[in-house]
Amino acid sequence: MDTAAYLRRLGLPGLLTAPTSAESLRALHVAHVEKVAYEALQIWLGRPTTVDPVESAERIIGGRGGYCYHLNGAFSQLARALGYQVTRHYGGVQGRGKEPGLTGNHLVLTVRGLPSDGNPGGEWLADLGLGDALHEPLPLVAGTYRQGPFQYVLRPSEVVPGGWRLDHDPAGSFEGMDFGLSAVEMSVFADKHRELSTSPTSGFVRVATVQRRDAYGVDSLRGLSLTRLGRGAHSVTLDTARDYYAALADVFVLPLDDVSAGEKDKLWRKVSEAHESWLAGGAA
């Protein structure tokens, strides 16, 4: 992995030789969620991916994003290269109206050895793969935390003995997330990644979703519906391919420079047809 190129992508080249600290971890986390989109357009483009963190990092360096296995996997590789003590954990995101559980549909990171005011133990929850959730890392300390328009609760998990639970804000896109503290390798997520990227019941396959978090809110693109939650809240439908790709570039820092004009035409048709089907189903 080209660590220097990764840091340039984040706009933080100076951290290549900086000592590890809670402040630098926060800077890395914030820059990543603001400049690297949560997205699964590779599925819609017919480009299979793996959970290999180096492959994910190369794609991010090239201007793309990904979902949890890619974003947290690549970030863990970057942070380790910079000297941080990072552990990967097996987690489960609970959708609205679903039951909580350790399903493996989420990769979670913790970073230790970084004491600070309010977190003398020095252990942090770092999660760049939750779409509309964390903007900054959270102290791995039970409590209530406010970031922009969202309020989170971090507490012991009720479904994972010895594990943790993050309750999302009621305005968020999911209920919460549980994870165990045992360390895992990326290979444990391979089967679930295959399911999430190919199954017709997968949310990534059913809806072309892109999200990007900032300090004041979150922008979300689901099909052709672009919404902003937080400061500057609004909602609009993107009616043309030009508007769609302009939004990807301007709002989500996702210019798709690696996608040809022909591929963009095909992607626009697929997303438009899926959006129209969704509208027809809602009307029915």
pLDDT 10s digits, 104-140: 999 999 999 999 988 999 999 999 999 999 999 999 9
At 280 the pLDDT is 84
At 35 the pLDDT is 98
User: How much is the average pLDDT of 62-79?
Assistant: 98
At 282 the pLDDT is 63
CA–CA separation, 48 vs 50, rounded Å? 7
CATH of domain 198-283: 3.30.2140.10
User: How much is the average pLDDT of 168-193?
Assistant: 97
User: How much is the average pLDDT of 82-88?
Assistant: 98
Residues with Cβ within 8 Å of residue 207, at least 6 apart in sequence: 222, 223, 274, 278
Q: Is the pLDDT of residue 284 over 80?
A: no
Mean pLDDT rounded to a whole number for the chain:
96
SS3 label, residue 237: strand
Domain segments of the chain: what residues?
A: 198-283
User: How much is the average pLDDT of 1-10?
Assistant: 97
CA–CA separation, 221 vs 226, rounded Å? 4
SS3 label, residue 216: coil
Reading the block at residue 134, the tokens are 């964390």
Angle at which helices 3-10 and 53-61 pack, to 10 degrees? 50
Q: Is the pLDDT of residue 222 over 60?
A: yes
pTM for the predicted model, two decimal places: 0.96
Expressed in angstroms, the distance from the first to the final Cα of the chain is: 50
Name the pLDDT band for 241 (thresholds 50, 70, 90). Answer: very high
Phi-psi region of 172 (alpha: psi -120 to 50; beta: other; left: phi over 0): beta
Q: Is the pLDDT of residue 226 over 90?
A: yes
Q: Is the pLDDT of residue 283 over 90?
A: no
